[in-house]
């Protein structure tokens, strides 16, 4: 179901110079882009799921019955992430513009979204006068699971989605956690398995009573 499509013999459809190996699972077009163009067009969409195309070189397989050889090749898309591609996200400044006095968030900062858990390279604005960390996160529609030294946030979208499901079909926080974990396993080479269920439950509970 997945392959090069119409990009089989071409490079990046945007720059036309580099090899096109990356595809966004959440963008509408699904175009194959090079790494630089993929990062450029996802400066404010850091929670999209990215795939990279891998091509294995052909090799000879020997048939023990008739001593013949066959050429074996395989190609596939492997899930990666914008964080793995070194995309950095700056809060407190428009259009992801770097802050001169930027402050790095926790090394393993995780954002919970409808399509799974996302490890992000996050930076706060430390300009004076400026906004507190929790204000910067809330301005970005990210809800904190704890007010002190946050390491995990849930997007307003996923929290509202769960709240609606909980009211209509009694979906539990464990159900949501299980589904997001399964999506994350398919979305990154190293899924966020260390994400505790209690963290998700706390964020959902705070949202429901806000």
What span, in angstroms and rounded, lies between the C-alpha atoms of 85 and 70? 36
**What backbone phi and psi angles, to 5 degrees, belong to 54?**
-115, 135
Q: Give the pLDDT of residue 190.
A: 46
Q: Give the pLDDT of residue 81.
A: 85
Q: Give the pLDDT of residue 104.
A: 92
Contact partners, residue 209, CB within 8 Å, separation at least 6: none
Q: Give the pLDDT of residue 71.
A: 44
Per-residue pLDDT of the chain (210 residues; tens, 9 = 90+): 555 555 554 678 888 888 888 888 888 877 888 899 999 989 888 899 888 886 655 554 444 443 434 444 456 778 888 888 888 999 988 888 889 999 999 988 999 999 988 989 999 999 988 889 999 999 999 998 887 888 889 999 999 999 999 999 998 888 888 888 888 876 444 444 445 577 788 888 888 777
Is residue 67 a contact partner of residue 43, using CB atoms and an 8 Å limit?
no
Is residue 60 a contact partner of residue 71, using CB atoms and an 8 Å limit?
yes
Tokens at 109, concatenated: 């900062």
């Amino acid at each position: 179901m997945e392959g090069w499509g119409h990009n089989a013999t071409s490079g990046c459809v945007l720059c036309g110079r580099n090899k096109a190996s990356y595809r966004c699972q959440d963008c509408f077009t699904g175009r194959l882009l090079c790494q630089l163009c993929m990062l450029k067009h996802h400066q404010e969409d850091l929670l999209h799921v990215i795939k990279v195309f891998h091509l294995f070189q052909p090799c000879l397989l020997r048939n023990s019955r008739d001593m013949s050889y066959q050429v074996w090749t395989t190609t596939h898309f492997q899930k990666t992430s914008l964080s793995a591609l070194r995309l950095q996200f700056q809060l407190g400044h428009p259009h992801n513009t770097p802050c001169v006095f930027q402050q790095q968030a926790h090394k393993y900062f995780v954002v919970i979204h409808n399509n799974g858990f996302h490890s992000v390279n996050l930076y706060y604005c430390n300009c004076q006068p400026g906004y507190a960390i929790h204000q910067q996160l809330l301005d970005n529609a990210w809800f904190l699971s704890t007010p002190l030294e946050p390491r995990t946030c849930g997007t307003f979208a996923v929290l509202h989605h769960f709240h609606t499901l909980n009211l209509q079909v009694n979906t539990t926080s464990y159900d949501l956690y299980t589904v997001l974990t399964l999506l994350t396993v398919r979305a990154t080479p190293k899924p966020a398995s260390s994400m505790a269920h209690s963290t998700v439950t706390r964020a959902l509970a705070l949202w429901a009573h806000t």
